Amino acid sequence: MVELRDSSGRHWQITIGTSEATCDDETIANEHIFEIDARPNRLWADGQLAHVVKVKDDWWVHINGRIHVLSIDEQGAGGSGDEGGMTAPMPGKILEILCNVGDQVETGQTLIVMEAMKMEHRIAANGPGTIAEIHYDIGDQVDSGSTLIDITGEE
């Protein structure tokens, strides 16, 4: 069985051998016909040519003129949580830090200005709260997904 999540967050449990499938928000038809092409990364699904490639934990699928990314779902790996983690949306450099530890901030307030590919991006507070920790300094390079700032929510 493979557990997958698509870009809209739908969670799938699929078994091909016995053709079982469940999706967390609807019941979907589970009769699909697969034909394996002689070449790697190609298969026929319901009469449509699909190109597939696995990169790290994601499946990239091109089928019927569209590209889909499906992540292999890890059981119990919850989202980033409602509070706390303000993460870098892309790799880049910290240009400005507009808050200090202990500051009260409002939702949408700009906390950090980053630069990536010569464009500036503003990182705004994802909720009201207090700045608990700032993990980087101005000029630091950060990877995509790095936690930049921790905010503790208001009780």
* Residue ranges in contact with another protein by CB under 8 A: 2, 4, 6-8, 10, 12, 14-17, 21, 23, 28-29, 32, 34, 36, 40-41, 43, 45-46, 48, 50-55, 59-70, 89-92, 95, 113, 115-121, 144
Report in angstroms how near the CB of residue 94 gets to another protein at its nearest: 13
Output the smallest distance, CB 101 to another protein, in A.
Answer: 23
Of 81, 79, 135, 83, nearest to 112 by C-alpha is 135
3-state class percentages of the chain: helix first, strand second, coil last, to nearest 5: 0, 50, 50
Q: State the sign of the Cα–Cα–Cα–Cα dihedral 124, 126, 131, 134.
A: negative
Quick one: 60 or 147, whose CB is closer to another protein? 60
Give the nearer residue to another protein in terms of CB position, either 35 or 154. 35
Cβ-contact 43, 36 below 8 angstroms: yes
At its nearest, how many Å lie between another protein and the CB of residue 58? 9
Q: How far apart are CA 28 and CA 24, in angstroms?
A: 10
